[in-house]
Amino acid sequence: MPGVLFSHPSSLEHDTGAHPERADRIRAIEAALAARDSLGWAREASPAASREALERVHPAGYVDSISRLVASGGGAVDADTYASAGTWDAVLHGAGGAVAAVEAVVGGSSPVAASIHRPPGHHAEAARAMGFCFFNNVAVAAQHAITALGLSRVAIFDWDVHHGNGTNDIFHASPDVLFVSAHESPLYPGSGPASDVGSGPGAGFTVNLPVPGGSGDDVWCSLTEHVVGPLVRSFEPELVLVSAGFDAHVDDPLATCRVTDAGFAAMAASVRRAAAACGAPVALVLEGGYDVDALARSLCDVLSVLGADGVPAVDDGLTRHPQASAAQDRLSSFWPSL
Ligand SMILES: [Zn+2]
């Protein structure tokens, strides 16, 4: 079995109306998986997250406020973020799928896992829903790995085209979680400058890699191979989480980056090599991606790389991009081995 994929039909019941973050995203992924026999991956229904798991990241009052909003019939949280009658089940299982994926790989029942849900999570702050997101699934999963499973170091690489402001802020002062985000800048939500490196004991453990609009495989793949890979190897995590959005794709309508299907596969290969060098398992948590065909194809290609036999070989043809060299120079005070 290459890996285990967690999903749940409640993802289809979060109704956003005419909105880019829509149920067709999941339908396209399911169709692509069905056409490829789920790439041989085992399929599991995501459990609902426990209150305990949610409240390690989100205050109880905030969790209650989302529950009440949905119970009252839903409504707008901000200009982009809507709750419907089906949202509570969707977000509970979304966080639960991420937690289950972590339990599967840390517990050793699967070498790699993925949690495929909507809505996404990485914009959700501890006490604020925003940017289509309600609960920060990857943050809940990372904190579960630390608090409930006893891990000491968890790395999160967020390759969604938007900055993962929620995850960034939740672990800002923590040296236990290395949070690395590559994102288009300027773009929503406007956070994530290179100068934001974390705070207090977490200084250096937040790494922001903003890239200009129009950046393609040359930039994104080099940053992943030449910056994220060495960072992960230096941090030596016991678990690598990928906050996997597919909206840096050239076909995506919400951003201007130009990553191809092959580019996402190459980034996955770099992540897998770095994780393997540390003996760390990988779990993927779906974030954005709004061209549904590009999303479905690229996700399948990434799962194929993560679940393949053997660690993928280094791509000798990948040139070190000047942006990667600049990031290495910038980060060398915290990470001398870079
Ligand atoms: Zn995004």
- Alpha carbon of 150 to ligand 1 centroid (Å): 30
- DSSP bridge partners of 179: 156, 206
Confirm whether 337 is domain-assigned.
no
**Closest among 131, 148, 133, 164 to 243, alpha carbons compared:** 164
Q: What is the DSSP letter of 299?
A: H
Confirm whether 265 is domain-assigned.
yes
Q: Which residue has the tokens 């890996």?
A: 3
- Full domain range(s) for residue 186: 4-331
Using CA atoms, how far apart are residues 180 and 155, in angstroms rounded to an integer?
Answer: 8
In this structure, what CATH number is given to the domain that contains residue 12? 3.40.800.20
- Alpha carbon of 246 to ligand 1 centroid (Å): 7
Confirm whether 336 is domain-assigned.
no
- Alpha carbon of 201 to ligand 1 centroid (Å): 28
Confirm whether 239 is domain-assigned.
yes
- Alpha carbon of 336 to ligand 1 centroid (Å): 31
Where residue 27 falls among pLDDT bands split at 50, 70, 90?
very high
Residue 337: is it exposed, middle or buried by C-beta count within 10 angstroms (0-12/13-18/19+)?
A: exposed
- Per residue in 270-308, pLDDT tens? 999 999 999 999 999 999 999 999 999 999 999 999 999
Q: Which residue in the list 93, 117, 122, 123 is annotated as catalytic? A: 123
What does the pLDDT average to over 53-65? 98
What does the pLDDT average to over 223-241? 98
- Per residue in 145-166, pLDDT tens? 999 999 999 999 999 999 999 9
Specify the number of domains making up the chain: 1
Residue 1 has pLDDT above 90, yes or no: no
Confirm whether 338 is domain-assigned.
no
- What's the confidence (pLDDT) of residue 157? 99
**pTM for this model (two decimals):** 0.98
The vertex-267 CA angle with 102 and 42, nearest 5°, equals 40
Contact indicator for 135, 94 with CB cutoff of 8 Å = yes
Using CA atoms, how far apart are residues 244 and 160, in angstroms rounded to an integer?
Answer: 6
Contact indicator for 196, 223 with CB cutoff of 8 Å = no
What does the pLDDT average to over 224-242? 98
Q: What is the mean pLDDT of the chain?
A: 97
Select the more confidently predicted residue: 316 or 290: 290
- Alpha carbon of 289 to ligand 1 centroid (Å): 6
Confirm whether 225 is domain-assigned.
yes
- Per residue in 80-123, pLDDT tens? 999 999 999 999 999 999 999 999 999 999 999 999 999 999 99
Q: Is 249 a catalytic residue?
A: no
Q: What is the dihedral of CA 81, 82, 88, 94, to 10 degrees?
A: -40
How would DSSP label each residue in 207-235? EEEEE-TT-BHHHHHHHIIIIIHHHHHHH
Query: Token pair of 186, please?
Result: 């300027």
- Per residue in 259-278, pLDDT tens? 999 999 999 999 999 999 99
Contact indicator for 59, 145 with CB cutoff of 8 Å = no
Using CA atoms, how far apart are residues 202 and 49, in angstroms rounded to an integer?
Answer: 27
- Alpha carbon of 287 to ligand 1 centroid (Å): 7
Whether the upstream peptide bond of residue 253 has omega within 30° of 0, thus cis, is: no
- Alpha carbon of 117 to ligand 1 centroid (Å): 14
Using CA atoms, how far apart are residues 100 and 318, in angstroms rounded to an integer?
Answer: 35
**Residue 332 CB partners (closer than 8 Å, separation 6+):** 338
